Amino acid sequence: MLTEVNRPVAELDVDAHQTEYLRHLVRQFQELVARQDTPIGPPVDQWWGLIQTVAGSAGDAVLDWLDRHQPGGCGPVLCSGDSTSLLWLVPPGAAARWSHAGGIAHPEGGTAHVPSHTVVAPPGLHWKRVPKREDFHFVGARMLASALDAVAAPPPLRRPAWEVLT
Contact 78, 126 (CB under 8 A): yes
pTM as predicted: 0.72
Is residue 162's pLDDT more than 70?
no
Q: Domain ranges in the chain?
A: 2-164
- Summarised one tens digit per residue, pLDDT across range 12-41 is 455 666 677 777 767 666 665 555 544 445
Residue 17 burial by CB count (10 A; 0-12/13-18/19+): exposed, middle or buried? exposed
